[in-house]
Each structure stands twice: as C-alpha cells, then as structure tokens.
Amino acid sequence: VQLQASGGGLVQAGDSLRLSCAASGRTFSNYAMGWFRQAPGKEREFVAAIKKSGVYKYYTAPVRGRFTISRDNARNTVYLQMNSLNPEDTAVYYCAATSSEDRLGFGLDYEYEYWGRGTQVTVSS
C-alpha cells in the first residue's frame, strides 16, 4: 500500500485543519488506518485509528473530543479532522495502514505495515 498524506500547514491556535491520506496499490478496505505524529525531539506517538469498516475509532487522550478520524473506502482515503488546535499539536503527522486490527486501540506503531511520508502541522500561539 502506498500512502500519501496531505493537508498540513501553519495555523494559529484555535484553528482547524483536515489531513487526508490517499492510499493506492492494495484494497484499501482490507486495512485499518492510523494517524501518528512526531514532534521535534520527541518519540512518535499514536493519535487516532479507525477499523476497516469505519465503525470503530480510537484516539489518544490529548486529542479526544478535538480530532475526528474518518475514512471513505470508495475514495481510498482516510481523514483526520483537527479542531481547536494548540501549539502542543505541532508535529509531523503520518498515516499508516495495518491489516491487523485486533489491537488497534493500543496504538502500537509496530503493528502497522505501511507508512506514508508525513505532513507538517505547525500551530502558532
């Protein structure tokens, strides 16, 4: 699966952004999808994930209630709607795909087989 993330940018605190991740190469609906982020000097961290069907979604606590993950299997795309952004959300955001969704809620990056290049999100105060 080839993944291409887009939609990042420079915004002010309180603004919104929507990230997109377009998949190609394999049957998109066979993969659960996740978003991760890595801030400068920090480890990569789990942000959100969505099961293959799109019914079940998982979030890390700092973004719950502000971010929404969704997918459109007909368009082979997963989205991350980010509202009420704050400077702590500044990071490179990566989308990833996994064929195994049994432990999706644990946000384990090593369970993802495919990764896209990141898109930079910068939130100014």
Q: What is the pLDDT of residues 40-55, one digit of tens each?
A: 999 999 999 999 999 9
Report the C-alpha gap between 110 and 75 in whole angstroms.
26
pLDDT in tens, 61-105: 999 999 999 999 999 999 999 999 999 999 999 999 999 999 998
pLDDT at 45: 97
Residue 39: is its pLDDT beyond 90?
yes
Asked whether the beta carbons of 5 and 19 are under 8 A apart, the reply is yes
Residue 91 CA from chain centroid, whole number: 12
pLDDT at 26: 87
Report the C-alpha gap between 106 and 62 in whole angstroms.
15
Nearest partner of 99 among 52, 37, 49, 58, judged by Cα:
52
Residue 121 CA from chain centroid, whole number: 12
